[in-house]
């Protein structure tokens, strides 16, 4: 029971932390990001800074469905990666991962920063959320197969693309409440069938567990709420009893 209580505590803390990034100043988030990159050389940090400036300019007039500045999304995804010490190319590509699809920037303009960054961004863009284009939802086996096929092809090009997509999906699941009920259902189903197994395969143990929780909040709402309430109450009771013992 203690283990379950600790899981819920860690889960809540993690989710609340990164959900809150949407409401922070982008430049403030970026400076914290750079400060945490103490394992990256000055040259690598320059690439990250160039990428951020391009992303910030490209997404300057764009908002997320929640109404918050769009640039906070790639910034948050990059910050979520930091405990895994990603290379500067991956962090840069993460900051730019929506630039080709959502702005007027081109592959060539991203490649001017670095060709490796452009390649990661281009392949990440190709792995589209299959259920966007499939009106029947992710129950379609064809849509599921197409997403998996694109992911397998991309992984042969560069394994970093998979890490980008897993963390990108994790943040999208955190902020899923801004979507329609149908959109939430489709995204959660795709996450359960594709991204949770991917996180496990890539050895991202924490992301694997957090994605499980995020999908359960959508696909098994009543069961999740009941379990969360029970474990939280049990944990509070244990804490209270511990205080009595030590007083």
pLDDT in tens, 166-224: 999 999 999 999 899 988 998 999 899 889 999 998 999 989 999 999 999 999 977 77
Residue 18 near residue 79, CB atoms below 8 Å = yes
Please say if 222 is a catalytic residue: no
Catalytic residue among 102, 182, 236, 240: 102
Catalytic residue among 101, 182, 236, 240: 101
Please say if 108 is a catalytic residue: no
- Confidence grade of residue 118 (pLDDT, cut at 50, 70, 90): very high
Q: Per-residue b/e over 139-168, b at no fewer than 16 CB within 10 Å?
A: eeeebbebbbebbeebbeebebbbbbbbbb
Closest by Cα among 138, 40, 126 to 89: 40
pLDDT in tens, 65-84: 889 999 999 999 999 999 99
pTM, whole model, 2 decimals?
Answer: 0.85
């Amino acid at each position: 029971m203690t283990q379950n209580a600790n899981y819920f505590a860690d889960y809540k803390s993690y989710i609340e932390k990164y959900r809150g990034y949407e409401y922070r100043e982008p430049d403030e988030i970026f400076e914290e990001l750079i400060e945490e990159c103490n394992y990256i050389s000055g040259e690598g940090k320059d690439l990250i800074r160039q990428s951020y400036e391009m992303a910030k300019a490209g997404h300057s007039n764009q908002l997320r469905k929640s109404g918050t500045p769009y640039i906070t999304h790639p910034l948050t995804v990059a910050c979520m990666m930091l405990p895994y010490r990603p290379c500067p190319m991956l962090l840069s590509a993460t900051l730019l991962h929506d630039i080709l699809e959502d702005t007027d920037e081109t592959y060539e303009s991203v490649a001017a920063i670095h060709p490796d960054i452009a390649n990661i961004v281009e392949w990440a863009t190709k792995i589209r959320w299959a259920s966007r284009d499939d009106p029947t939802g992710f129950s379609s086996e064809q849509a599921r197969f197409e997403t998996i096929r694109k992911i397998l092809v991309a992984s042969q090009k560069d394994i970093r693309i998979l890490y980008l997509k897993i963390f990108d999906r994790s943040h999208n699941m955190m902020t899923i409440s801004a979507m329609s009920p149908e959109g939430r259902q489709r995204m959660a189903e795709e996450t359960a069938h594709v991204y949770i197994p991917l996180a496990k395969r890539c050895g991202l143990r924490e992301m694997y567990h957090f994605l499980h929780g995020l999908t359960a909040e959508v696909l098994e709402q009543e069961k999740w709420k009941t379990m969360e309430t029970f474990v939280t109450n049990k944990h509070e009771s244990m804490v209270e009893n511990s205080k009595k013992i030590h007083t």
